[in-house]
């Protein structure tokens, strides 16, 4: 059976753990300890094919100088998560973007998605316009989606989309590309706004 590992990268409080909990359990939990370095694992059926997906949640203090190198060898996909109600969380992703872009372009580098979480909250609380998330995703050459870990909006869709992209021709089960040129060609063709 296929196994995929997706690293959830983002600031504290953006809902990474709630997203993973929702993806694996199909519900929201108010009482999650945000200080744990967690792995959420479950089986999913995507396009009539069963696979196992692990959602890795590195604690933000682990995002030191070598974090991107470690995650490149651990996860085939990176979900870059910010809260639409926190400009600081979006700026945190921008600060990480040089490292993310460098590793995403490498042979065997991760498939990326940018997620604006907490879209269930009232629009008056929004600090990051949807357009900014779309622009960041375009800059990375990846997909963008607004999600709600609380209601489950687009959570399953994001997982299924990442699995489909990881299964694309040119990617082995291990997540390794057949070459950087193929990844660049695929990247140019797959910037989709969900």
Q: Where are the domains of the chain?
A: 2-189
Q: Using 70 as the pLDDT threshold, list the residues of the chain that sit under it.
A: 33-37, 59-65, 170-194
Query: Which residues, other chains included, contact 73 with Cβ-Cβ below 8 Å and sequence gap of 6+?
Result: none
pLDDT number for residue 23: 96
Q: How many residues are given for the chain?
A: 194
Q: CA-CA distance, 60 to 45, in Å (whole number)?
A: 30
pLDDT number for residue 172: 43
Whole-prediction pTM: 0.83
CA angle (163, 76, 20) in 5-degree steps: 65
pLDDT number for residue 107: 81
Query: Which CATH architecture best describes the domain 2-189?
Result: 3-Layer(aba) Sandwich (3.40)
CA of 72: how far to CAs of 10, 107, 176, in Å? 16, 10, 10
């Amino acid at each position: 059976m296929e196994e995929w590992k997706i690293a959830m990268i983002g600031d504290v409080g953006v809902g990474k753990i709630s997203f993973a909990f929702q993806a694996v359990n199909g519900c929201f939990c108010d009482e999650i300890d945000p200080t744990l370095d967690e792995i959420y694992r479950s089986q999913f059926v995507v396009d009539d094919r069963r696979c196992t997906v692990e959602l890795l949640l590195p604690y933000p203090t682990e995002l030191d100088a070598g974090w991107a190198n470690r995650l490149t060898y651990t996860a085939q996909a990176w979900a870059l998560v910010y809260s639409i109600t926190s400009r600081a969380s979006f700026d945190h992703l921008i600060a990480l973007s040089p490292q993310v872009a460098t590793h995403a372009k490498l042979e065997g580098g991760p498939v990326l998605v940018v997620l604006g979480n907490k879209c269930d909250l009232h629009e008056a609380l929004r600090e990051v316009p949807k357009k900014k998330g779309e622009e960041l995703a375009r800059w990375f050459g990846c997909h963008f989606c607004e999600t709600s870990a609380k209601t489950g909006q687009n959570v399953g869709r994001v997982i299924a989309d990442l699995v489909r992209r990881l299964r694309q021709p040119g990617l082995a089960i291990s997540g390794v590309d057949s070459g950087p040129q193929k990844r660049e060609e695929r990247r140019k063709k797959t910037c989709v706004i969900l």
